[in-house]
Amino acid sequence: MMRIGFDNEKYLKMQSERIKERIGQFGGKLYLEFGGKLFDDYHASRVLPGFKPDSKVNMLLQLKEDAEIVIVINAGDIEKNKVRGDLGITYDMDVLRLIDAFRGYGLYVGSVVLAQFSGQAAAIAYEKKLEALGLKVYKHYPIAGYPANIPLIVSDDGYGKNDYIETERSLIVITAPGPGSGKMATCLSQLYHEHKRGIKAGYAKFETFPIWNVPLRHPVNVAYEAATADLNDVNMIDPFHLEAHGETTINYNRDVEVFPVLNAMFEQIYGKSPYQSPTDMGVNMVGNCIIDDEAVREASSNEIIRRYYKALCEQRKGDLDEDVIFRLELLMKQVGVSVADRPVVGAAVKIAQETNGPSAAMELPDGTIVTGKTTPLLGASSAMLLNALKKLAGIPKEAKIISPTVIEPIQKLKVNNLGNHNPRLHTDEVLIALCISATTDEQASLALQQLEKLKCAEVHSSVILSNVDENVLQKLGVNLTCEPKYQTKKLFHGKK
């Protein structure tokens, strides 16, 4: 079973209390720049075993009566139809998804900000759409010389030109569909407007990674570098904090680089900056809730290997530069791991070599490894999935838990009616077939009951999987990697 390395309940309590403390520090109103994912933070749950993917939004629920959400989207991203790589939807659609998600938790969404607005036609149309949906929309504009021209930025011709966002609560959470949306600029613009109106308000930053109070080269921080290798993010000791407090803390390069400018803006607005370092701005309590350092180190090291394989596949698809691969190889060396430390890799590659065809291997939570190979009826990942369920249910591997009379009609439908050339069943089709068989077959029913036990299992495929298989395995909660090669030599690789 997975070793727990993180106390989630302690985190919910400590983190909400820390934010309340920071609100009080600024007289009762705080603009909190919220970095990273508020929902479905699977990176954090993988590197901090015990951290729940929805922990951050549940933490906000403890501040529900005080919190107001403001979502920022860059008008240029609307114009370019920028897409979230993890979800496959455009940023403008993701704003609507986020609003629905926040409201689903009972959190109050106050408004949407169109940052860097300069009359983009798509942004104007989007503004009308949001207003038709009953949402308040504000516009913030480009400022010449940003961020260096501080006298202009912090003036009526800079931040002063931006719409003032009317807020109702004491904690204003500024979030966005992705990086580069303008969260920090939105916070600072509001501080300028609040100060002009005589309203006391402060700014703080919430980032889960890097963790400021664990060592620079700790695998959990290195795993963050691996996750952002394509962004050139680099963890570093915060030099401002070391000089001001004599304490070694960890931050990342972008926050350290921008701090002198940010500090000067605070001085221009307030007369004096409330912070002496980027670390001072943060409120992150994650590092205080690690209860098993070895478990976190092991989980984070595994994540670095997974990120390496993900990058190899993205490079094979033509979506990533080679220098990112070199960076990830260096990060693996820094924590002393290699692909050989991922047992499912060797198991999958061995079967592929023996059968001269695609294969897949899964390491179950108890360390057992099961494999699957391509057959006339099943794809390799489908065969592996069935073998894993049989293993967990104590059913012999050779047992047939899906009747051929169920599989054959599905194959005919795929080839004869849906235009597929490949008759073999994908993982989604296998699960449907298993559900049908389970209505009359006790073994199939028993196997189906094991699906929940696959969470956190490790999987490796000898080829890049189809979108369908990849999505199904992701929904089952397994950690997937693939060899950076396709099953065929075709140039176009569709969803099936």
**Segment 85-107 mean pLDDT:** 91
Cis preceding linkage at 147, omega within 30:
yes
pLDDT in tens, 382-403: 999 999 999 999 999 999 999 8
**Segment 7-19 mean pLDDT:** 96
Closest listed residue to residue 203, CA positions, set 291, 144, 98, 274: 274
Q: How confident is the model at residue 83 (pLDDT cuts 50, 70, 90)?
A: confident
State the virtual CA torsion across 86, 92, 95, 96 in degrees, nearest 10.
Answer: -110
- Residue 496 pLDDT > 50, yes or no? no
Evaluate whether 217 touches 335 at the Cβ level (below 8 Å): yes
Same structural domain, 283 and 356: no
Same structural domain, 261 and 406: no
Same structural domain, 47 and 173: yes
Residue at which a domain ends, from 270, 289, 308: 289
- Residue 267 pLDDT > 70, yes or no? yes
Asked if residue 434 is part of any domain, the answer here is yes
Same structural domain, 353 and 283: no
Give whole-number Cα distances, 288 to 7, 283, 421, in Å.
9, 12, 54
Asked if residue 17 is part of any domain, the answer here is yes
Distance CA 110, CA 99 (A): 10
pLDDT for 1 equals: 61
Same structural domain, 274 and 419: no
pLDDT in tens, 195-220: 999 999 999 999 999 999 999 999 99
Same structural domain, 276 and 366: no
Distance CA 309, CA 330 (A): 14
**Segment 38-61 mean pLDDT:** 92
CATH number at residue 135: 3.10.630.10
Asked if residue 140 is part of any domain, the answer here is yes
- Residue 243 pLDDT > 90, yes or no? yes
CATH number at residue 408: 3.40.140.40
pLDDT for 423 equals: 82
Is residue 373 classed as helix, strand or coil in its secondary structure? strand
pLDDT for 320 equals: 87
Instruction: Give the whole-number percent of the chain exceeding pLDDT 90.
Output: 80
Burial 426-453 (b: 16+ CB within 10 A, else e): bbebbbebbebbbeebebbbbbbebbeb
pLDDT in tens, 353-385: 999 999 999 999 889 999 999 998 899 999 999
Give whole-number Cα distances, 134 to 125, 313, 342, in Å.
15, 42, 50
Q: Could you list the residue range(s) of the whole structural domain that residue 121 is in?
A: 8-216+233-289
Distance CA 193, CA 174 (A): 16
Same structural domain, 275 and 351: no
In 3-state terms the chain splits into helix, strand, coil percentages (rounded to 5) of: 50, 15, 40
State the virtual CA torsion across 171, 172, 175, 181 in degrees, nearest 10.
Answer: -140
Same structural domain, 285 and 400: no
pLDDT in tens, 131-183: 999 999 999 999 999 888 999 999 999 999 999 999 999 999 999 998 889 99
Instruction: Give the whole-number percent of the chain exceeding pLDDT 70.
Output: 98
Mean of the per-residue pLDDT values of the chain:
93
Asked if residue 166 is part of any domain, the answer here is yes
- Residue 489 pLDDT > 80, yes or no? no
DSSP secondary structure of 211-243: -TTS-TT-HHHHHHHHHTGGGT--EEE-HHHHH
Report long-range pairs for 64-68 (Cβ below 8 Å, ≥24 apart): 64/106, 64/107, 65/169, 66/20, 66/23, 66/169, 66/170, 66/171, 67/107, 67/108, 67/169, 67/171, 67/173, 68/108, 68/109, 68/110, 68/167, 68/168, 68/169, 68/171, 68/172, 68/173
Amino acid (1-letter code) at residue 99? I
How much is the pTM?
0.90
Amino acid (1-letter code) at residue 23? I
Can you point out the beta strands (E) in 242-287?
250-252
Same structural domain, 48 and 151: yes
Tokens of 447: 């196997």
| Helices and strands (H and E) in the chain: how many | 20, 14
- Residue 413 pLDDT > 70, yes or no? yes
| Domain tally, the chain | 2
pLDDT for 314 equals: 93
Same structural domain, 282 and 375: no
pLDDT in tens, 446-479: 999 999 999 989 999 999 999 899 999 999 999 9
Asked if residue 143 is part of any domain, the answer here is yes
pLDDT for 490 equals: 57
Asked if residue 335 is part of any domain, the answer here is no
Q: How confident is the model at residue 222 (pLDDT cuts 50, 70, 90)?
A: very high
**Furthest CA-CA distance within the chain:** 78
pLDDT for 491 equals: 43
Asked if residue 310 is part of any domain, the answer here is no
pLDDT for 495 equals: 46
Residue at which a domain ends, from 249, 264, 289: 289
pLDDT for 488 equals: 64
pLDDT for 492 equals: 43
Same structural domain, 243 and 383: no
Asked if residue 320 is part of any domain, the answer here is no
Distance CA 387, CA 385 (A): 5
The region of weakest confidence among 151-165, 241-255, 409-423 is 409-423
